[in-house]
Amino acid sequence: MTKTELEVELDELDPTLTELIAEKLNSMKDVEMAAAKWEHPLVAKPKLFVRVKKGSPVDAMEEAISNIEKEVKAIQKVVDKAEESEL
């Protein structure tokens, strides 16, 4: 790996979260590419690869995760409001 690349192995048993983070990373302007990799579901954990055009791949990953958290919180607010209106 170089200063502009990072590959991490996640402890997730389901690659869904890895795919979501890769998709968010690919939507960022300073990210050259991101990909989720899962070599085999029985013997490997999902991996996330990111290469940035500028900046730090760690910072890009942290920003992507932060953005996902914000989106989930916004969805939770909508669900909470819907739940309140049913009461």
- The C-alpha atoms of residue 78 and residue 72 are separated, in whole angstroms, by 10
Query: What average pLDDT does the segment 4-28 reach?
Result: 91
Report how many domains make up the chain. Answer: 1
Side by side, the strands of the sheet bearing 47-52 are 5-9, 47-52, 31-37
Domain assignment of residue 38, given as a range:
5-86
Beta-ladder partners of 48: 8, 36
Per-residue pLDDT tens digits for 41-71:
777 789 999 999 999 999 999 999 999 999 9
**What is 41-62 written as a DSSP string?**
TTT---EEEEEESSS-HHHHHH
CATH of the domain at 47: 3.30.1360.10
Whole-model pTM: value is 0.85
pLDDT of residue 71: 96
Helix (H), strand (E) counts: the chain:
2, 3
